[in-house]
Amino acid sequence: MMRIPLPTEAVRIIDTLKAHGYKAYAVGGCVRDFVMGHTPDDYDITTDALPEQTAEVFTDAKVIKTGIKHGTVTVMLNSFKAEITTFRIDGTYTDSRHPDEVVFCPELKEDLKRRDFTMNALAYNHDEGFMDFFGGIDDINSGTIRCVGEAEIRFSEDALRILRALRFASVLGFDIADSTANAIYTGYPLLANISAERIFTELKKLLCGKEAYTVLTRFKDVFCFLIPELGRLSDEDYRHTAFMVSKVPAVLKISGLFYHCGAQGAHSALKRLKSDNKTTHEVCTIIEACSEKLSDCRVDALKLLNKYDSAPMLYAIDLMLCDTNQSDCRMLTNLRQVITDIVSHNECYKISQLAVNGSDLINAGITDGKLIGKILNFILNEIIENRVSNNREHLLKLIQNSDIKR
């Protein structure tokens, strides 16, 4: 019998439950990961003990009553954390989103039956080995994502499973079984029932997967449904979007997705997806910077830095460098170098870097706030255009000059 290297803490939790007469197994993603030879990030334990009974068994450990209603308690053994959930059946679904009720049950098989895919419906403990009622191990070995039971029904119960299937296909590089894929092609409009936050969370993981290109192109209709801005692209631009997503580093995946949509398109899509403001702003800035006419001459680089600052500008360059169709790679590489140089020498491209400030102007007798702003901008421009240097003595003299005060 194949043994998987469960951490000792997980074994202790399972054995403790069993010592009290309960059934207990590692379940779901962690078992799948071990079968694939990966080390899991988190551990789920499934048991027939009711949440209150689980809490009673672990009196000497830290127990957090995470979701008593759904049957989940979290047990901490030092830094090891496991979620322990009571065997349950999900009641009827009326909204393709969450079950109307959950019902605890005594049988492991019932609990595994409610899980989304065969690869996620595996349970394991050292005494009994794998509990595999739905062919999950075979499906992992052949790299197949397959719904437990009738795919159409499972997606109509909870449409997020559609996106989970696509996310796993992208991240694990698995294929989707025909019956499951067909149910996705017909069932994806049900995703309208799923909250934007949950969709965006899955989407971000999906974009980072090694097979993002394959999934984005094979299930184009799903993504155009979720993000109408993508639906407005030409076939060529859509395909190239998928290519960009697959090429760019993880921090640029979302920017890559909206590369052909423009900053406006990215903005409306990200608002709709309930992206946090910081991400939305960063992505839109990067995409806007990509639409600039770029040149690697120093003055132009300083102007770009003034408008976009260095981090978004460097990201925009990295993004465009992945666009092997369009980009002038030599110019972009030079521009990247020029910008790194400007930043490392702390060269001046914004007001806050000027060797003089508002108080200096006030001391020189200029009190009108608007005029102060105008003069500082004028000086900055002179520096960027390389007509004066950012030297305090020079600049103070320049301020004394009466011309500047008009």
Q: How, if at all, do strands 43-47 and 80-86 pair?
A: parallel
| Interface with ligand ATP, residue 202, by CB under 6 A | no
Q: Which stretch binds ligand ATP (CB under 6 A): 74-82, 158-166, 237-245, 271-279?
A: 158-166
Q: Which residue is nearest to ligand ATP (CB)?
A: 29
| Interface with ligand ATP, residue 158, by CB under 6 A | yes
Using the minimum distance from each CB to ligand ATP, give the nearer residue, 158 or 323.
Answer: 158
Q: How, if at all, do strands 43-47 and 175-176 pair?
A: unpaired
Binding residue for ligand ATP, selected from 54, 118, 120, 170, defined by CB under 6 A = 120
Joined together, the tokens standing for residue 109 give 């098989």
Binding residue for ligand ATP, selected from 161, 240, 260, 267, defined by CB under 6 A = 161
Helices (DSSP H) in 60-173: which residue ranges?
108-113, 136-142, 151-157, 160-172
Residues 6+ apart with CB under 8 A from 48: 22, 23, 86, 87, 106, 107, 108
| Interface with ligand ATP, residue 160, by CB under 6 A | yes
Nearest approach in angstroms of CB 160 to ligand ATP is 5
Using the minimum distance from each CB to Mg ion, give the nearer residue, 115 or 267.
Answer: 115
Nearest approach in angstroms of CB 306 to Mg ion is 45
3-class DSSP state of 44: strand
**CA distances for 380 relative to 190, 246, 298, 306, 311, angstroms:** 54, 40, 15, 10, 20
Nearest approach in angstroms of CB 132 to ligand ATP is 13
Q: Which does 120 bind (CB under 5 to 8 A by kind): Mg ion, ligand ATP, none?
A: ligand ATP
| Interface with ligand ATP, residue 180, by CB under 6 A | no
Task: Provide the b/e sequence for 280-317 (b: ≥16 CB within 10 Å).
Answer: bebbbbbbbbbeeebbbebebbbbbbbebeeebbbbbb
Q: Which stretch binds ligand ATP (CB under 6 A): 155-163, 179-187, 318-326, 390-398?
A: 155-163
Binding residue for ligand ATP, selected from 44, 139, 202, 211, defined by CB under 6 A = 44
Binding site for Mg ion (CB under 5 A): 29
Strands (E), 57-149: 62-67, 72-77, 80-86, 88-90, 102-104, 123-125, 129-131, 144-145
Using the minimum distance from each CB to Mg ion, give the nearer residue, 85 or 285.
Answer: 85
| Interface with ligand ATP, residue 209, by CB under 6 A | no
| Interface with ligand ATP, residue 288, by CB under 6 A | no
Task: Provide the b/e sequence for 218-235 (b: ≥16 CB within 10 Å).
Answer: bbbebbbebbebbeebee
- Encoded amino acid at 45, one letter: I
Q: Which residues bind ligand ATP (CB under 6 A)?
A: 28-29, 44, 115-116, 120, 158, 160-161
